[in-house]
């Protein structure tokens, strides 16, 4: 019997199980091999012809030079029988694993395509709410305007026992151990490439349609999540506002902003909740650290509704002006707006003398004076806090600032 045949049968069965153990063929087993082998009759795909080139470079002798037969360093990898064995082993290994891997690829294409489609559908549907554009005007220009006064059908693969056999391997190699070594190395590489190519090619077949189905499903889920409650009731704009305010009160500013934006996208321009949603979206952004967006919202709101929520809006604008930089080039030469913040705070303090936020406004004004190098007015402002609000936390903070910036210190 042929040296190859029985061994190839063993290889084929083992590879179907995708065993991590590599099966080696000995010369003794090749001597007792049968006259036929099992073949899954799968041809190599287009663009990946059966191996016909030289032995891979990593199998060359370390010296890089061919070794002449008969020398003491004779390398079996230089034997033509090794190259023939590698080629034939590679083709067998590739065919064995490709078909099973192709079926796995069909399944993974279904699963991954659908899952990714669902994610994309949800993301695309929600993007108009998450990415709502509060104003098209640049922040630096706004600041200048401040003026305070499924699854698919997958065929099961044939069992190995039902495959037709084919003749394999030139008989003249006999029990050449170098051929055996080449065959073993080739089948390992062929199995690896066949597995990878099969999964890739199978996935390409099922992924697109599965993705489309998933996208439709993701859009449907997102629509339900945005516009319906847990009982299936369609949410009104008033319901959306209530959900937003509840999330805001819990400090869930991302959810609150999302719901405020739903109102801004879907309620008519003269709607009952639109302006309130716009203002609270600014406060949610401010509390969430998105200060530039918050400042833009508050400036736009103040320009459109100068007498509505005036106390809160103008104080927020002043505080944000102290933290936001504009101008310059990629941050170089950009500046904060302490001058404008100082003017707003001075006006604010004289306009809202009974406000609960007056201590904070005084402290912010003191900070503005510090940043503008006006130490005398900074000390006088901090001292006023100490005198008007003794024993409070903000008074203690004011004492610390006085001690830090001047030698005037009567409290020791």
**What is the reported pLDDT for 144?**
87
Q: What is the pLDDT of residue 153?
A: 29
203 vs 161, higher pLDDT? 203
Q: How far is the C-alpha of 310 from the C-alpha of 323, rounded, in Å?
A: 20
- Tell me the pLDDT of the chain averaged across its residues: 78
Alpha-carbon gap, residue 345 to 305, rounded angstroms: 19
Give CA–CA dist 47/11, Å, rounded. Answer: 25
Scan for tokens 């918050």, then name that residue: 294
Quote the CATH superfamily of domain 306-412: Tetratricopeptide repeat domain (1.25.40.10)
Alpha helices by DSSP H, 33-159: 80-130, 139-144
Distance between CA 181 and CA 188 in Å, rounded? 11
Q: What pLDDT shows up at residue 87?
A: 87
Confidence of residue 40 (pLDDT cuts 50, 70, 90): very low
Q: 131-162: per-residue pLDDT in tens?
A: 999 998 888 889 888 877 632 223 333 333 33
Q: Is the pLDDT of residue 96 over 70?
A: yes
Range scoring the smallest mean pLDDT among 14-23, 122-131, 310-319 = 14-23
**Is the per-residue pLDDT at 11 higher than 90?**
no
Mean pLDDT lowest among 137-146, 169-178, 254-263, 358-367: 169-178
Dihedral sign for Cα atoms in the order 354, 357, 359, 365: negative
Q: 30-34, 114-118, 173-177: which has the highest mean pLDDT?
A: 114-118
Question: What pLDDT is stored for residue 184 in this prediction?
Answer: 86
Residues 25, 86 contacting (CB under 8 angstroms): no
Residue 254 — very low, low, confident or very high, per pLDDT cuts 50/70/90?
A: very high
Question: In terms of pLDDT, which residue wins out, 26 or 306?
Answer: 306
Q: Stretch 274-303: mean pLDDT, rounded?
A: 96
pLDDT for the residue numbered 63: 39
How is residue 336 written in tokens?
A: 């904060």
Confidence of residue 76 (pLDDT cuts 50, 70, 90): confident
> Cα dist. 88→17, 163, 185, 252 in Å?
21, 19, 10, 64
Q: Which two tokens stand for residue 233?
A: 């009731």
Greatest CA span in the chain, whole angstroms?
Answer: 110
Residue 388: the pLDDT is 94
Distance CA 85, CA 174 (A): 11
> Distance between CA 233 and CA 222 in Å, rounded?
15
> Considering only CA atoms, which of 93, 107, 71, 84 is closest in space to residue 15?
93
pLDDT for position 172: 43
Q: List Cβ neighbours of 20 (8 Å cut-off, separation of 6 or more).
A: none
């Amino acid at each position: 019997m042929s040296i190859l045949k029985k061994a190839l049968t063993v290889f084929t069965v083992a590879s179907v199980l995708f065993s991590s153990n590599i099966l080696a063929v000995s010369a003794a087993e090749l001597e007792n091999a049968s006259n036929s082998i099992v073949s899954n009759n799968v041809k190599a795909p287009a663009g990946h012809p059966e191996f016909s080139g030289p032995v891979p470079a990593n199998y060359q002798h370390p010296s890089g030079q061919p070794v002449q037969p008969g020398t003491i360093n004779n390398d079996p990898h230089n034997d033509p029988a090794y190259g023939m064995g590698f080629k034939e082993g590679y083709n067998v290994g590739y065919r064995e694993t490709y078909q099973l891997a192709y079926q796995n690829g069909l399944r993974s294409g279904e699963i991954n395509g659908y899952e990714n489609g669902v994610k994309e559908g949800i993301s695309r549907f929600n993007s108009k709410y998450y990415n709502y554009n509060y104003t098209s005007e640049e922040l630096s220009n706004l600041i200048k305007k401040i003026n305070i006064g499924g699854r698919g059908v997958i065929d099961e693969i044939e069992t190995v026992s039902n495959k037709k056999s084919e003749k394999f391997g030139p008989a003249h190699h006999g029990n050449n151990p170098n051929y055996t070594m080449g065959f073993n190395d080739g089948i390992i590489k062929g199995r690896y490439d066949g597995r990878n190519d099969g999964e890739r090619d199978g996935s390409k077949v099922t992924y697109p349609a599965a993705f489309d189905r998933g996208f439709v499903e993701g859009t449907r889920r997102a629509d339900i999540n945005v516009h319906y409650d847990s009982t299936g009731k369609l949410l009104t704009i008033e319901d959306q506002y209530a959900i937003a305010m509840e999330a805001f009160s819990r400090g869930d500013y991302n959810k609150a902003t999302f719901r405020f934006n739903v109102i801004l996208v879907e309620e008519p321009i003269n709607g009952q909740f639109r302006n309130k949603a716009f203002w609270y979206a600014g406060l949610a952004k401010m509390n969430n650290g998105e200060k530039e967006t918050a400042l833009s919202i508050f400036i736009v709101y103040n320009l459109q509704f100068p007498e509505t929520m005036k106390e809160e809006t103008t104080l927020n604008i002043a505080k944000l002006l102290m933290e936001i930089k504009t101008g310059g080039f990629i941050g170089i030469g950009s500046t904060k707006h302490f001058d404008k913040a100082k003017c707003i705070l001075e006006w604010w303090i004289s306009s809202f003398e009974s406000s609960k936020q007056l201590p904070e406004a005084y402290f912010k004004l003191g900070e503005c004076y510090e940043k503008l190098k006006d130490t005398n007015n900074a000390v006088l402002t901090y001292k006023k806090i100490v005198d008007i609000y003794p024993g409070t936390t903000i008074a203690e903070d004011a004492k610390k600032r006085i001690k830090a910036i001047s030698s005037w210190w009567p409290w020791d």
